[in-house]
């Protein structure tokens, strides 16, 4: 009397249901199966989900199905026959695409090549911006302002204080005479005024040559008290 080995078949279940249920009954996970039959987990998951459309080709699909069925001790002929039937039904309704797969289409442009090009573009833009900012900072004139005295004033004082602000580490001159500013760029200096018009040229110069100049005009007149004393002396001179 001959003995036969009967492969396990669950006729009322689909191929995906049979694969998943049998694997779980045997206490296997997809990673263990993947290592055993050398098939990527994502393709095993596709077989268990019935997502045949994402498999790389019919030859691969049937070969992987045979390997998976053999590992789970299933009827290979039934698996292939049932797979062909289910695949045919899917092809009849191929116009109905599963939303979860279709929603990923907007990410299809994300690949190593486009990411590399985008990365190079970002680095190039950043480099050009950095160079442009550096060049602008070199060629733009330094900031300079004079707080006192006001321009075009008249005074009888012999000395006048000129003060203001500029950028730190700037070479500052007043009428070509070097003036030291503090670490914040603030400066102050007393200037001897001559009688009549005095032109004060305040110049801030960067290390690379860019400069800014402000011209202040101050008119010094004689003190009135001296005129009165001189006039009185002449009137009472015997």
On the question of pLDDT at 6 being above 50, the answer is no
| Residues whose CB falls within 8 Å of the CB of residue 166, separated by 6 or more in sequence, listed in order | 142, 143, 144, 145, 172, 181, 185, 187, 204
- Residues 157, 218, single domain; the answer is yes
Residues 45 and 96 in one domain: yes
Instruction: For residue 8, report the phi and psi dihedrals to the nearest 5 degrees.
Output: -75, 125
pLDDT value at 108 more than 80? no
Chosen domain end from 52, 84, 102: 102
pLDDT category at 90 given cuts 50, 70, 90 is: confident
11-46: pLDDT as tens digits: 568 899 999 999 999 999 999 999 999 999 999 998
The phi and psi torsions of 224 (rounded to 5 degrees) equal -65, -35
Q: Is the pLDDT of residue 52 over 80?
A: yes
* Domain of residue 202, CATH code: 2.60.40.10
Q: Residue 39's domain is classified under what CATH number?
A: 1.10.260.40
The reported pLDDT for the residue numbered 110 is 63
User: For the residues 129-142, what does the mean pLDDT come to?
Assistant: 73
Judge whether 114 lies within some domain. yes
Where in the sequence is the domain holding 27, given as residue range(s)? 15-102
Q: Output 128 or 62, whichever has higher pLDDT.
A: 62
**Over 90: is that where the pLDDT of 134 sits?**
no
pLDDT given for residue 115 in this prediction: 76
Give the pLDDT confidence score for residue 53 in this predicted structure: 85
Q: Please report the pLDDT score of residue 220 as a whole number.
A: 92
Burial of 209 (0-12, 13-18, 19+ CB in 10 A): exposed
Q: What is the pLDDT of residue 66?
A: 92
As a whole number of angstroms, the distance between CA 154 and CA 173 comes to 23
Do strands 159-166 and 186-192 pair parallel, antiparallel, or not at all (unpaired)?
antiparallel
Residues 6+ apart with CB under 8 A from 10: 17, 18, 21
pLDDT of residue 2: 45
What's residue 51's pLDDT?
87
Residue 183: pLDDT above 60?
Answer: yes
Residues 149 and 127 in one domain: no
Looking at residue 5, what is its pLDDT? 46
Confidence of residue 139 (pLDDT cuts 50, 70, 90): confident
Percentage with pLDDT > 90 across the chain: 37
* C-alpha–C-alpha distance, residues 177 and 172, integer Å: 8
> How large a percentage of the chain has pLDDT more than 70?
77
Residue 101 has a pLDDT of 46
């Amino acid at each position: 009397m001959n003995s036969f080995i009967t492969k396990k078949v669950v006729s009322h279940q689909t191929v995906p249901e049979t694969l998943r249920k049998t694997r779980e009954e045997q206490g296997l996970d997809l990673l263990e199966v993947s290592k055993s039959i050398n098939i990527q987990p994502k393709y095993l998951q596709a077989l268990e989900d019935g997502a045949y459309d994402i498999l790389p080709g019919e030859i691969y699909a049937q070969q992987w199905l045979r390997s998976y069925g053999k590992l789970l001790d299933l009827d290979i002929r039934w698996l292939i026959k049932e797979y062909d039937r289910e695949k045919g039904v899917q092809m009849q309704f191929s116009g109905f695409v599963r939303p979860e797969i279709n929603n990923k289409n907007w990410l299809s442009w994300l690949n190593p090549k486009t990411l590399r090009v985008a990365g190079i573009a970002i680095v190039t833009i950043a480099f050009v911006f950095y160079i442009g900012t550096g060049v602008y900072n070199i060629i733009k004139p330094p900031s300079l302002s004079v707080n006192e005295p006001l321009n075009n004033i008249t005074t009888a004082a012999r000395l006048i204080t000129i003060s203001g602000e500029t950028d730190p580490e700037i070479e500052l001159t007043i009428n070509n005479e070097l003036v030291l500013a503090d670490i914040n760029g603030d400066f102050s200096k007393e200037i001897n005024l001559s009688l009549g018009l005095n032109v004060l040229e305040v110049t801030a110069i960067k290390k690379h040559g860019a400069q800014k100049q402000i011209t202040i005009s101050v008119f010094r007149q004689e003190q009135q008290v001296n005129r009165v004393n001189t006039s009185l002396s002449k009137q009472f001179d015997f």
